[in-house]
Amino acid sequence: MAAPSPSPKPPRKPRTPDTAYGNTDEGRALLQSRVVRYAKIISWVSVVFYPLGMVSRYLVGSAGAAGWAGVFSLASLLQAIGCVMFLALYWWAKHGEHSERALRCADVLVTLGGAGTWELMGIGAPSWTRPDMFTVFVVSQLLALRATLIPCTVNGSLWISLMTVSPIPVLTYFFFSAHPLAQGPTPFGLTFNSVLSCTLVVVIAMAVSRTVYGLRERVREAMKLGQYTLDEKIGEGGMGVVYRASHALLRRPTAIKLLPPERAGEHNLVRFEREVQLTSMLTHPNTVSIYDFGRTPEGTFYYAMEYLEGLDLQTLVDSDGPQPAGRVAHILAQVCGALAEAHGVGLIHRDVKPANVILCERGGTPDVVKVLDFGLVKQLGPTERVDVTTSGADRIIGTPLYISPEAIIDPNSVDGRSDLYALGAVGYMLLTGAPPFTGASVVEVCGHHLHTKPTPPSERMRAPLPADFEQLILKCLAKSPGDRPADAAMLRRELLAGSAASSYTPEHAAQWWQTRGRQLIAAGTRPAPSTQGASPSVILTRAAVGHAAE
């Protein structure tokens, strides 16, 4: 009978990273910032106490009498070495980007080395002192500070603390064997007392690490949405907050927008969820891709979308001023492509504005447009109306600087041509640096949309524009939907066939990204997706709309 084969060993559990956010760039950056702070505090304390220590050694000397013998002793040299080690760690960690492994190794080596030099200072101490008490005090402060600042597991803190304090009992025994106390405990008794003190130091360091690391882990768990972990807040608007996030398995960068019930309202969250389901089916290359959506146990609705390194159009104009007509034509044509697909499946954007259009590089191609937030800000129609007896009933939602006249007067009548009006206003802003209408109040701006004829962009700019392109922008801004282009696809064809489009080539776009675009992104002017920035979406009551229509 054959012997039974041994059961296979269970797979080894992967090591949990010591960083508070796991094995991510954010975790590495957090660790580096904490190592810098840790080394900075110890360096400043060391630098301040070094001359004080020299004064103390001058006063007591190496043999209990005042003199220079104590100043230039072995203890002074060892203290200086410890100071230099922590200063070197501070300078190294502060400059450049270092890997997690390098940061961990540097932290451990300098902690052990710096603490070791201070422990060895007891060798040169006068025979009538108690260097064991001084050493335990200094090392305990060092380990407590490290446990507070450096993200570390309890096991990691245990081993580092043990290695740091282990020389203290040995040095205590040899010191008091060479310099026994005239009265008091024996060297063995003092060593045993040193072991107890070091054990207490290790326990305290572990307790601090467990508390701090545990708090970080709880924060990390609280910031998880399914397989996504929220890393950094990159924007906030009237409806929600946008975070950069990382997926547990995939490495693609992700942006997650949270819509809490207290901000959006439970009624709107149900509608948002339905519209995200439809939006996720859009596949146009100029539409932001939605990866996932859902609700947290607390009722917060979220959706995950592709993270874009680029500039929204508002930031573009704020940073670089009005844009050339050719570039504006190409930007608007790409937006039209995204709108045409959405309109074809019955989705109307209803919040086309500069902050919802991102300009970026994708796959080596410059000036790629991405349109955000399809249908996520929508007017309330008759089938979605709340109780008329409640305050705020019968409201419309929109962005005043870019809202169409029909969206103000009759939200139920809007169609794709309402988006084309908003797109014309965006193009006007790109050309002139300002929206077509401004005012001291929302009502005044809405009144201009309803009654005021826009000033031609060339007059506002005091510079010539291709006549056909200017007429196309003004056609989009027509008060009556019937006077605008019939649909987004037709507008796109007219934009690309016009004289303006031919004046801006891919070479122009590539040159701008090489000389300016990447510089702006590196300087931190990246967009915050859907943050409702310079032109926020607001809620208008029917009374305000009626006043604007007068």
Catalytic residues: 351
DSSP output for 231-268 = EEEEEE-SS-EEEEEEESS--S-EEEEEE-HHHH-HHH
Reduced to 3 states (helix: H, G, I; strand: E, B; else coil), residue 303 is: strand
41 burial (CB, 10 Å; 0-12 / 13-18 / 19+) is: middle
CB 78 within 8 A of CB 118: yes
Q: What is the DSSP string of 79-123?
A: HHHHHHHHHHHHHHHHSS---HHHHHHHHHHHHHHHHHHHHHGGG
Chain CA centroid to CA 120, Å: 45
CA distances from 134 to 116, 122, 139, 474 (A): 13, 9, 9, 81
Tokens coding 290 = 């939605």
Report the distance separating Cα 407 and Cα 419, nearest Å.
Answer: 10
**65 φ, ψ to 5°?**
-115, 150
Q: What is the DSSP code (8-state) at residue 393?
A: -
**Which H or E run includes 307?**
none
Report phi then psi at 360, rounded to 5: -150, 175
At 84, the amino acid letter reads V
- Give the amino acid at 276: V
Tell me the residue type at 540: L
CA-wise closest residue to 340 among 474, 228, 484, 492: 492
d(CA 434, CA 411): 25
Taking the CB of residue 498, how many other CB atoms lie within 10 A of it? 21
- CA-CA distance, 164 to 140, in Å (whole number)? 10
* Helix axis angle, 313-320 to 416-432, nearest 10°: 10
Gap between the Cα atoms of 364 and 422, Å rounded = 29
122 neighbors 132 (Cβ within 8 angstroms): yes
Q: What's the Rg (C-alpha) of the chain? A: 34
What are the phi and psi torsion angles at 366 (to 5°)? -85, 165
Strand partners of residue 225 = 228
